[in-house]
A and B are shown apart, each in its own frame.
Chain A
Amino acid sequence: MEATLQTRAKSTKSAIRSCYQSRTAEINGDLRAAAETNRYLQLPEEVLEDILLRLPAETLKNCKRVCKSLFDLINNPSFVNKHLLRVTTENRKPCSSSSRTLFLKWIRQELSMDDIFDGYDVYHLHGNDLSKLVLSMVTICEEDDTNGNRDDDRLSCVVEEVRLPPIPESELPYFPTYIKASSHSNGIIHMADPENEGTSVLLNPILGEFKLLIRPEDLPDDYYSKFTGDDLTLHGLAGWGFGYDPKAKVYKCVKIYVDECSKFPVALVYTLGRYDSSRMIKIDIGGHRCSFQSNGVYCKGAYHWLNAGGQMILSFDMSEEKFYRTRLPKDLYAKVKKLQVWKESLIIFYGLECSWFSSIFEMWVMVGNIGGVEGSTYWTKHLTIGPLVCIFYPLIFWKDDELLLEGQDGRIVSYNLDTKRLRTLPLPGAVYPGHTSAYLYLKSLVSL
């Protein structure tokens, strides 16, 4: 009896002790866990920032969902700018081992070879069909290939398709039915529609943000004639541009409107911000017909368009909000051409020959500053590319020595200036030559 009592007492005691021990262990564990919880968030701010700045925008998008303090830190405009600077510098390194990302806007080709040989008009066939539009994000992962890659004729890359955003019903009537022009600045893709008075879509596909730029509500219907002071009617849009104003540190979108004779263009300039604002500016184009190639390029704080006649470049300085004209060499007026950027300078491709069997392009580089004294800029012929077989036209330089070209057969290829090697970009489908836009994309946190 006693013994049993004793054992019971003993067992109770040991039970209490073990319970106490496990409780203590639990408490200690809890304390340790509590000490470890959120500890990384308490790192000195500059250390935490240093860690985050090393991450790509896609990962930072996930980090934003981890907790509130990371959300606030990553959303902070000063952080966004530091990150942008880092990505930009990384992308500019001439022999950077990191990957490059291209953004491609293209139209899927669904024609038979006969159609292509017989000649076709893409705009008539598919121009109004957004379903044929494909947006692709292409990440080229090039290892050090000084020894030459085994798989010589293909670029190794990851291709992802970017879907268009879901459009709120209220904005549906304004959404472009057809996208003609596009541009890219610091991770934001701008696409515009010549209809709908040129509604623009702005996307940051990495963040998954989008925004529509609709004609400002306070603009009266007869704003064009009121503004020009003439009895002119607005005929349509002649050009779009989108870019960064490095002085005010804001993004601006500019649309050029013209009258029926295309002689009196005006520009509507939107400044993006917490509250978007807009203003109109008259453009003096010196009596030329204002008809531009709809896709321009952004270079050194300004947006540039080539006029359809090919005699001049019209430039819009994003900070000064002023337009400048730059004349082109006379002997090159009539040739097919395209404006592009190379090593932060404006360049022009002149097509000397463009056929299935032989394509030859000259590359001219502009020397001098846009908006400088008249006659202070000149053009110099840098090199001749080709003859190449089955090439339609150059797209962009994605590296100093690698040029992306559209093929006549619907392929996109990369051409190396030194080795003259051609490599195919493995897109899911064939493109309609002449309707592709490509950008060297920056994966940024820039919010819309």
Chain B
Amino acid sequence: MSSSSTTTTTTRLLMLKASDGVTFEVEEAVATKLGAINNMVEEEGSEDLICLPNVNGKFLGMVLEWCKKHANNNTNSDKGNDEVNKWWDKEFVMDLDQNTLYHLLMAADYLSGTELVDLLTEKVASMIRGKKVEEIRETFKIKSDFLPGQEEEIRKKNSWAFE
């Protein structure tokens, strides 16, 4: 039983259907890098078509692209792989704008792609690091909901040390 399942996992193809009807055919070994899909495969087993009503095709495609790279690199047990993965991760997040980043992050979180979530949260953090209040608001389109004067009060109270 167990030996037959291992032989199938290497070749088995899964169909993933995004919210907008776009479908992706992926190897099980690639798709199971996502915790949510891994669970579904383990629980339901026989089902080959998996519907993902919370993820748009565009972003599902990107998530799967990431999975594919990592799955491919991990099959060769070479030590240089970590470096390759790191380099590839860097490329992957380099030019993401905050809109794409948001949707990817939501998709990765929904699909329990822990490693990918880590990569994306670090990217978001790098976009905040060292920024001033207004810059953070602008980058992430956040509206201040402080009452007039409230923010100034916080600023004034705690600004003696360096400013």
Residues of A within 8 A of B (CB): 33, 36-41, 43-44, 47, 50-52, 54-56, 58-59, 61-71, 160, 162-166, 203, 205-210
Contact = CB atoms under 8 A, between A and B. Distances in A.
B139 to A, nearest CB: 9
Contacts of A205: 161-162
Q: Secondary structure at chain A's binding surface: helix, strand, loop or mixed?
A: mixed
B161 A67 contact: no
Contact of A40 (B130, B131, B132, B140): B140
B141 interface: yes
A33 B154 contact: no
Nearest to A63: B136
A206 B161 CA distance: 7
A62 B133 contact: yes
A162 B159 CA distance: 11
A65 B133 contact: yes
Nearest to A447: B158
A39 B124 CA distance: 13
Given A37-B141, A55-B128, A59-B131, A66 B136 contact: yes
A65 B154 contact: yes
Nearest to B137: A66
B12 to A, nearest CB: 31
Nearest to B152: A65
Contacts of B144: 66-67
Given A39-B141, A165-B160, A206-B161, A50 B155 contact: no
B128 A65 contact: no
B141 A67 contact: no
Interface string B99-118: 10010011001000000011
A33 B157 CA distance: 33
A210 B161 CA distance: 10
Given A62-B132, A66-B133, A205-B161, A37 B143 contact: yes
20 contacts: A37-B142, A38-B142, A39-B141, A40-B142, A41-B142, A43-B109, A51-B128, A54-B121, A55-B129, A62-B132, A65-B146, A67-B137, A67-B142, A67-B144, A163-B162, A205-B162, A206-B161, A207-B158, A208-B158, A208-B160
A51 B131 CA distance: 14
Given A59-B131, A67-B145, A54 B125 contact: yes
B102 A208 contact: no
B19 to A, nearest CB: 16
Contacts of B124: 40, 51
A160 B117 contact: no
Interface of B: 98-99, 102, 105-106, 109, 117-118, 121-122, 124-125, 128-133, 136-137, 140-146, 151, 154-155, 157-162
Most buried by B among A40, A63, A64, A71: A40
Contacts of B137: 66-67
Nearest to B163: A208
Most buried by A among B130, B142, B154: B142
5 closest cross-chain pairs (CB), A and B: A208-B158, A54-B125, A205-B161, A50-B121, A65-B133
A208 B159 contact: yes
Given A51-B125, A52-B125, A67-B144, 17 more contacts: A36-B141, A39-B140, A51-B121, A54-B121, A54-B122, A62-B131, A65-B155, A66-B137, A66-B144, A67-B142, A67-B145, A68-B145, A165-B160, A205-B161, A207-B158, A208-B159, A208-B162
Contacts of A58: 130
Contacts of B159: 208
A210 B157 CA distance: 10
A182 to B, nearest CB: 16
B156 to A, nearest CB: 10
Contact of A67 (B106, B117, B143, B155): B143
Contacts of A47: 105, 109, 117, 121
Contacts of A69: 145
Contacts of A56: 129
B135 to A, nearest CB: 9
Most buried by A among B121, B131, B157, B159: B121
Contacts of A68: 145-146
Contact of B129 (A33, A38, A39, A59): A59
A62 B121 contact: no
A67 to B, nearest CB: 5
Contacts of A162: 161-162
A61 B142 CA distance: 16
B141 A38 contact: yes
Contacts of A209: 158
A43 B104 CA distance: 11
